[in-house]
Amino acid sequence: MRNTGKLKKGILISQIVSGIAAILFFTGCAKEKKHAEWEKSAKTNCASCHMYPDPSILPRKVWGEKVLPNMGYRMGMSHGPIYTYGDPDSHKDLNPTMPQEEWDKIVHYYLNESVHKIPIDTIQHQKVSALFKPHVFLLDSLPLITMTSYDEKTGNLFLGNASSSTLLTLDTNGAILNSDLLESAPVKIVTKDSLNYMLMIGSLNPSDEPKGKLKIGDNVIEGLIRPVDFLIYDINLDGYDDVFVCNYGNNIGDFSLFENLRNGTYKKRVIHPLSGAIKVEVKNMDADEANEIVVLFAQEHESIMIWDYKNDTFIGKKAIQFQPAFGSVDFQLKDMNGDGLTDIIIGNGDNSDLSTVLKNFHGVRVLLNNGNKEFSEDYFYPFHGVSKIEADDFDLDGDTDILAISNFGDFSNPNFKSVQLLLNEGGLRFEPKYIDGLPDFRWQTIDVSDYDKDGDLDVFIGSFNLNVGPKESDISERKNVSWVKLENTLNN
């Protein structure tokens, strides 16, 4: 005889299990639907200003405590689901760019999808190179070198010293020949056709104040917004040199042409009204015979723009786009694979703003030119805190090597070396080496020249020992190294 009690009990248990399974299923579906909504909101809204950043690029704490509050404030959002900006009355004038519930979706998405700690690449022990002999020089003041520029005509080295806003003129043995007190730190100096050009940044710290200046002989272009680079180039072929200027700024800035009006004055023409313009070069980047203007943008805009100039019109193309924590700092233009097209070598390592943690995507990249201003990343060397790069044939074997310096390195790791020599072995293979006898320091500026006229390239680098960035970059106890001359020993 069948036990109907047990049968009923079994059916009841089965129904309960099925009910729980159904609840879990529908709950899971609801979560997936909610997650999909969060992701869609993030990709739609964040990508409207810059490249969409994947949550995995930064730790959850950095997203929640630094990046999202800053993003929200810029977008007019006064609060989020896990933080506030303090007194709500102090933000009554904010203009929200989206409904609060839409912003909450974005916040939830990044906090739920990011991880506690991002993985960091293991720093391998490297071989030492004796290609360069370092000569280390000290200055009395805090070493904040904003410029190292060797003048081949005079044989003098110019240093910009931000700690005292001075332009120092030295010989290559380190003797100070002259010291000029300026209104702000110099960041670039060029002499062309007996005319001296000197760019002063105005404000070293993040600022939108128009205090920067470009001195051209006895003339001055004023009102520049934290300018960091310029290029002398007769763009309209009228026989008079025009000047392109990178107004880096902070929240505002631009990339502009200052057209020479032939009477000692210049007319400003904004080409791209974005902050973060950090470097400009001129080079033929395609199959035609004309040069293009190539500009690197940092900050949240993180991109490389290429402009053609035809019929007094600039025709621009965004050739490369990076996520906003990329940290663009410098680039070089060289043909790295011998196909006749100019490639891009880029360094990314700026790490002094909101997300000051070591990042596994910082380093040196080679972007091969595929034609029609299209590029692909074909080489990556991880290197924390890259600040400047130089691409040239340092060992005179017929191919292009890369020398990279760092300002935001991992000095907690004994294997980390703040100057990296990437020796080209062909086929986009590079052997990384460090310089024998060179102290590990925070380096910011670089220049390359054959100062001793022996046929090989020497290097000058300047330090910037300011305690900003990741905690691993702090070397505040080492305060005296100001600049280094790397003497190439190849032809000694």
Rounded mean pLDDT of 133-138? 95
Nearest one of 447, 479, 485, 448 to 464, comparing CA atoms: 479
DSSP codes, 269-311: EEEE--TTEEEEEEE--SSSSS-EEEEEE-GGG-EEEEEEEET
Coil, strand or helix: which one is 422? strand
Pairing label, strands 429-435, 127-129: parallel
Beta bridge partners of 123: none
Give residue limits of the domains in the chain.
27-84+99-117, 127-181+322-488
Dump pLDDT digits (tens) for 357-391. Answer: 999 999 999 999 999 999 999 999 999 999 999 99
> What pLDDT, on the 0 to 100 scale, is given for residue 197?
98
**What helix, strand, coil percent values describe the chain, rounded to 5?**
15, 40, 40
Rounded mean pLDDT of 123-141? 90
Question: What is the Cα–Cα distance from 147 to 446, expressed in whole angstroms?
Answer: 7
Dump pLDDT digits (tens) for 74-101. Answer: 788 766 555 554 455 545 567 788 888 8
Count Cα atoms within 13 angstroms, Cβ side, for 157.
Answer: 29
DSSP single-letter state for residue 217 = T
Choice among 94-98, 265-269, 333-337, 461-465 with the minimum mean pLDDT: 94-98
Under 8 Å between Cβ of 258 and 242: yes
Dump pLDDT digits (tens) for 6-51. Answer: 545 555 555 554 554 444 444 444 456 566 776 777 777 777 777 8
- Kindly list the strands in the beta sheet with 343-348, ordered across the sheet, starting from the edge strand earlier in the chain: 328-334, 343-348, 363-369, 375-382
Pairing label, strands 242-247, 227-233: antiparallel
Question: What is the Cα–Cα distance from 143 to 197, expressed in whole angstroms?
Answer: 24
* Token reading at 87: 């007194």
- Other C-beta atoms closer than 10 Å to the C-beta of 449 total 17
Rounded mean pLDDT of 273-299? 95
> What pLDDT, on the 0 to 100 scale, is given for residue 99?
84
Question: What is the Cα–Cα distance from 376 to 366, expressed in whole angstroms?
Answer: 8
DSSP single-letter state for residue 472 = G
Chain-wide mean pLDDT for the chain? 89
